[in-house]
Amino acid sequence: MSMKHLYNAAVTLLETRLKILDDEFYVKYSHNLIHQLEPDIAGIKIVCHYINDVYKMADLLINQSDIAVLKRKDYIQQAKPNGYRSLHLIVSVPVSLSNSTENAAISIQIRTVAMDCWASLEGELHYKPTTTKSIPDIRKHLTRCAELIAELDAEMQKIHRGIADY
């Protein structure tokens, strides 16, 4: 069994499990937690609409009897110095093979649409050589944008809470 095959299988299993949890949540509450799901070779990025959705999705996943949390970093509550926000989990996922069950450690990033937008734009701006030279104090500007997005997320959460209680 190659490591690539093991991780691919684990990501596929986790992706399916997440879709099932999201579908069940919709049936119960008429609200999807997952806006977008992006798997890659050893991880999954989950984009949710609201901050509460991020934590609810994480809780639903880690409360599965066969999923173990190996590591948790909450960059929503405590943003990175550059303003980056996301909930990071590394979970152990059991993969049933023909002769055994192997566990794979899978990285999961869960963030809101606004957090994802900032991370995408920050990545593009920060790693462009012309940008870092042409804009003085780019980190200061990016951090300020992250703060504004955090305010937007909090405001959108308040609006959502007023519309739908779950």
Domains and CATH numbers, the chain: 3-163 (3.30.460.10)
Residue (of 151, 141, 138) closest to 51 by Cα position:
151
Tokens 């590591």 label which residue?
Answer: 71
How far is C-alpha 163 from the geometric centre of its chain's CA atoms? 24
CB neighbour list of residue 132: distance below 8 Å, 6 or more residues apart: 126, 138
Q: Taking the model in full, what pTM does it have?
A: 0.89
Please state, in angstroms and rounded to a whole number, the distance separating the CA atoms of residues 25 and 127. Answer: 38
CB neighbour list of residue 11: distance below 8 Å, 6 or more residues apart: 39, 40, 41, 42, 43, 44, 106
Q: Which amino acid is at 148?
A: L
Two tokens at 76?
């929503």
Report pLDDT for 13.
95
List the chain pLDDT tens, one digit each, 166 residues: 688 999 999 999 999 999 999 999 999 999 999 999 999 877 999 999 999 999 999 999 999 999 999 999 999 999 998 899 999 999 999 999 999 999 999 999 999 999 999 999 888 876 766 655 566 677 888 889 999 999 999 999 999 888 765 5
